[in-house]
Structure 1
Amino acid sequence: MLIWRSAIRVVLATLVAALLFICYGKTHFYRDPGSVFYDRSRAFERTYSLHREVEAKEYIRTLQAAEGAGDGPTAADLGAAHVKAGVKPAICGIFSTVKRDGEQYVETAIASLLHGLTPAERADIHLSILFAHTNSTAHPSLKQTWLLRAIDSAHTYTDSLDPDTISHLRQLEETRNFAEKGVFDYIHALKQCYNTQTPYIAMLEDDILFADGWLVRSLLGLRRIEAATTTSTGKEKETTKPWLYMRLFNQERSTGWANKRVFGNNEHWIILAIAAVILTPTFLIQRRRRRHLHRFRFQSLHPQLPRHKSPKHPTSPPPKTTTTTTILSLTLLTLPTFIILFFQAGKASMLPPRPGVVREAFGCCSQAMVFPRERVGGVMAFLEQRGKGQVDLLLNDLVREWEGEGGYGKKGLDAWALYPVQVQHVGSQSVRGTTKKEAQAVWSMAFEDLKADKLRREHKEMVGRYYV
């Protein structure tokens, strides 16, 4: 009876713990598309991105007010907008933008990028825009004086392209050939930033929002990547493994488990392996205990016999103990239950990335990527060779196919990602003609869980650490 009580206690405890886990998952993991608790009706609720959008639009109103004469906003009100890039900025960031129906996302994107930057940070970025229209006046944002004053440079096709190329681009616009025009625009924007001579180039899509402190966090991340990929030999530095980009945006759909089905991630083998590790020594110890117990009982019943004549094996098995029953119950019920729940809860929920930079060859989308200057020539050549396609997929191909340059003997490039994600995609109108549902699916659940007060404190601390 005592044995059964032990098993019943384990069963009840497992059920209670599993129910508590399920309740927690329903309230905390509903954003994770790789989780069984995913709830699409709540997953796209905006929290931090809405906070940043409100800040960005308020900042735009402040910048617009500064255009008037008389008493207007002070330099403190304008923040980074009254400062331009320094003599040697660390990053050139460029938006490639096209006209949208209705709201022009690029305006809030730029405002969120600038809002909160310190003067030292603003001096570290050359901010640029490519208005990717053959008729550049078609883009309403080109008429926004506050925007042109806030950035460092603006580019149109007519600035540097010959009439034949512009004519070809006009044909691509008319036929909605986004696969080819998107690649052309990416190359053209890269060239504009490449000419600024900055060590890093950030390629930015126009329908995004930035987190508070994104720039200094990115600079610290780049510093860590350089430290991890270079070795010092005397006065010279040697690159151990070249890298292509640091990603500022990622979505949980791209970083989850390989399979969402129960036992789709080899859970059964994991359960068997852990059970074997637990049960094998348990049975060995129990067997040895039984043998010693039987010998002890035999010696007690036959004290006149010498010890070496006592039987080596028990003639009948001793009763099971509560310890054995508990271990069996835990192994056969509790262990499988929580391993299955662990995987079903979703990788992004159970194993979220630690803050910092990580090597990550997989990921989604090209919303915000930072390239080292020495890779940009190879990127442009590769994209020109391919000619058309989705830029993020082409870059993934380049990561795998890179054959090396300048003495590098290793095939392939490293790809890095910065966490927590510093950018959110908010555009519901895709310029590629995809549906609203598909455009919204490019979404970082983790971005919405960021806390404004915490980021503000971290931003101040990181600025003090980086600009010493």
Structure 2
Amino acid sequence: MSEAAYHLISSHEKRHTTRRSRILTTFTSSATLLTAVSFAFVYLTAIFYTRSIAYRDPTSAFFDPHRGYIPSYSAVRQDQAEAFIFASKTDLTRTRPKEQTHQKKFCVGIPSVARNGTTYLRSAVGSLLDGLSEQERNDIHLVVFIAQIDPSVHFAFKENWLHNLTDEVLLYDLPKKEMEHVIELEQTGNSREKGLYDYTYLLKTCYAQGADHIAMFEDDTVALDGWYHRTINGLDIAEKQTALRKASLDFLYLRLFYTEEFLGWNSEEWKTYLFWSSIVTAAVATSLASIRLISRTAKKAMTPKLLVAVFAIYLPLSILLFFAAGRVTVLPLPNGVNEMPRYGCCSQGLVFPRDSAKLIIDFFEERTLGYVDMLIEEYADAHASTRWALTPSVIQHVGRKSSKGDDYGEASKYKMTVAETLWNFGFEENDVGELRREHLDAIGRHSS
């Protein structure tokens, strides 16, 4: 081969190599750019979607209090409760059932004190009773405790609906010395001691009534249509689940209300979050390494610059969005019954098996001072008792003025009082028609 021919071939090969290098460079640059653009599009879409679904999640960075605290279903339920009470004035079938000797399944107790300018008790009683079948109502012994030395100061005591709809309107019936102590507690505004005393007094009354379960509701709540059959089913599941565990464990209560605010990313669980984040990172790394081994094209496209972007930018941002979306949004509690040994707030609705109620009564009488919800949790922790919660909640806290009088007008986050922020956000997503159909189906199954 002549020297001229050799140089010609060599020059051709160099141009070909340079062209391939340019093509490869262009390909890898295009892959990097395409990945960046695609990620940006998907990420922004995910943000907008998350904003649209997480506005009711108080554990989310996208939570919108202006929309989240809107009383959607609870407002409808309050209207239904009011209509039920109004109709009871002329419809005798809505009044309490005739005296019966059969054993009641539930004693439902509602302690109530006078609050200026509020009539919460009407909604509580009306929503508990509205929609119940005759059999469901007959299974319940409903007690409203007017926890006032002078019951006439309570708006409801003078109204006929209270006496017509309830099975018992409970008043103080105490020995002279004990009555004097209660008078002193009421006059001095000692809510920590009087609140616990009143709760215990009502709990003891329900216990003496003999029902299998005792349900305690605060007077500023509303119950959804079908709360009774869901509670019965929940109790059955909770009791069976508890029985499968160690015999030494007690089933203390079934929670009918909680606020999702305390079910977020808790700092004491940071090791768990770090572990799963590491698992996700390792899984992505393993997947990319496997693709590079299988595909030559992928190997060329996955340049060091692209891999650095994946692990330094794309993956951290994705993990960040996962946590920002909120725990209730990405890892919601499954419907049914869930164990809730921590973060269960507050005492708006609790159902105690009969034996557990006696234990709590004895504990309260021993302590005499404290807040009901905190003392119950203290007892449960000390005795390793199981605590269950019904998901979704079947009651909502609608109170805007605390019966304790210790937080009204005080600024808290979102410029709301502590009482106002005790809210179950999932409750407001209920559909009136679906609940009615579910309840009628349950009634039909029970009667067949």
TM-score by length of 1: 0.82
Name structure 1 gaps, 5 residues minimum: 67-72, 233-237, 294-317, 403-411
Q: Alpha carbons of 1:284 and 1:57: their partners in 2 closer, same or farther (altered >3 Å)?
A: closer
Query: Quick one: distance in 2 between partners of 1:16 and 1:319?
Result: 22
What are the residue-to-residue correspondences of 1:178-217 with 2, within 5 Å? 178-217=191-230
| 1:25 shift after superposition | 2.8
Query: Which of 352, 356, 361 is the matching residue for 1:375?
Result: 356
After superposition, give the CA deviation of every residue in 1:86-107 in whole Å (9 maximum; x if it has no partner).
7222110000000110122112
Deviations 1:179-234 (A, max 9, x none): 011111111011000011111000111000000100011001111112222269xx
Q: Deviations over 1:402-432 (max 9, x none)?
A: 1xxxxxxxxx100000011001111111111
CA distance in 1, matches of 2:96, 2:50: 43
Partners of 1:343 and 1:444 lie apart in 2 by: 21
Output one character per residue of 1:127-168: Cα deviation in whole Å (capped at 9) or x when no partner: 11111111122212112212211111111113xx11111111
Counterpart of 1:298 in structure 2 is none
**Aligned-partner Cα distance in 1 for 2:261–2:101:** 39
Q: Is 1:244 matched with 2:252?
A: yes
1:261-301 per-residue CA deviation (whole Å, 9 max, x = no partner) reads xx977756543332223324644774x679xx9xxxxxxxx
Is contact 1:29–1:38 with CA below 8 Å preserved after alignment? yes
- 1: distance between equivalents of 2:137 and 2:301? 68
Query: 1:454: Cα distance to partner?
Result: 1.4
TM-fit CA distance, 1:9: 2.4
User: Taking structure 1 as reference, are residues 350 and 5 closer, same or farther at Cα in structure 2, changes over 3 Å only?
Assistant: same
Letter paired with 2:127: S
2:322 maps to 1:342: yes
- Confirm or deny: 8 A CA contact 1:257 1:265 kept in the other structure: no
Assess, with a 3 A threshold, how the Cα gap between structure 1 residues 14 and 81 changes in structure 2: closer, same or farther.
farther
* 8 Å contact kept, 1:95–1:130: yes
Aligned amino acid, residue 149 of structure 1: N
Please state if 1:140 is matched with 2:155.
yes
Secondary structure of the residue aligned to 1:321 is: helix
Counterpart of 2:277 (choices 266, 271, 275) is 271
Q: Is the 8 A contact 1:10 1:330 kept in 2?
A: no
Alignment partner of 1:398 out of 354, 376, 379: 379
In the TM superposition, what is the alpha-carbon distance from 1:354 to its structure 2 partner? 1.6
Deviation at 1:348, TM superposition (A): 1.4
Q: Verify the 8 A CA contact 2:110 2:144 in the aligned structure 1.
A: yes
Q: Partners of 1:328 and 1:271 in 2: how far apart?
A: 17
Q: CA deviation at 1:110?
A: 0.2
Structure 2: gaps spanning 5 or more residues: 1-25, 409-416
1:81 and 1:334, CA in 2 relative to 1: closer, same or farther beyond 3 A?
A: farther
Q: How much does 1:329 deviate?
A: 5.3
Does 2:59 correspond to 1:34? Answer: yes
Letter in 2 for 1:276: A
Shift, 1:13, TM fit: 2.3
Q: In structure 2, the residue corresponding to 1:417 is in which secondary structure?
A: strand
Specify whether residues 337 and 462 from structure 1 end up closer, same or farther in structure 2 by C-alpha distance, changes over 3 A only: farther
1:263-412 to 2 correspondences below 5 Å? 270-280=276-286, 282-283=288-289, 286=292, 320-322=299-301, 330-362=310-342, 363-402=344-383, 412=384
1:416 has 2:388 as partner: yes
| Cα deviation, residue 324, structure 1 | 6.8
In the alignment, which residue of structure 2 is the partner of 1:426? Answer: 398
Give me the whole-angstrom Cα distance separating, in 2, the residues matched to 1:285 and 1:257: 34
Aligned amino acid, residue 273 of structure 1 = I
**Aligned equivalent of 1:299:** none
Matched AA of 2:377? N
RMSD: 2.7
Displacement of 1:399 after TM fit? 0.8
**Matches of 1:239 and 1:461, distance apart in 2:** 35
- Distance across 2 between alignment mates of 1:442 and 1:246: 18
3-state SS of 1:112 partner: helix
Q: What is the match of residue 54 of structure 1? A: 79
Task: Look up the SS of the partner of 1:195 in the other structure.
Answer: helix
CA distance in 1, matches of 2:273, 2:300: 30
Paired residues, number: 413
Q: Which amino acid is 2:53 matched to?
A: H
Residue 32 of structure 1 contacts residue 43 of structure 1 at CA under 8 Å; is this kept in 2? yes
- Matches of 1:84 and 1:221, distance apart in 2: 28
Contact 2:60 2:324 in 1 (8 A): yes
Q: Quote how far apart the aligned CAs of 1:61 are.
A: 1.1
Q: Which residue of 1 aligns with 2:129?
A: 114
Residues 318-327 or 332-341, more deviating: 318-327
- TM-score where L is the length of structure 2: 0.85
The secondary structure found in structure 2 opposite 1:209 is: strand
Q: Any idea what SS the aligned residue of 1:459 has? A: helix
Distance in 2 of aligned mates of 1:148 and 1:319: 78
Q: CA–CA distance in 2 between the matches of 1:84 and 1:56?
A: 24
SS at 1:421's partner residue? coil
- Counterparts in 2 of 1:1-40, with a 5 A limit? 1-40=26-65
Are the equivalent residues in 1 in contact too, given 2:97–2:138 (CA < 8 A)? no
Higher helix share: 2
Retained in 1: the 8 A contact 2:216–2:351? yes
| 1:344-373 deviation per Cα after TM superposition (whole angstroms, max 9, x unaligned) | 111112222221111111200100000000
Closer/same/farther in 2, CA of residues 279 and 388 from structure 1, 3 Å limit: same
Partners in 1 of 2:360 and 2:349 — Cα distance? 15
The answer to whether the 8 Å contact 1:91/1:202 transfers is: yes
Residue 319 (structure 1) shift:
9.8
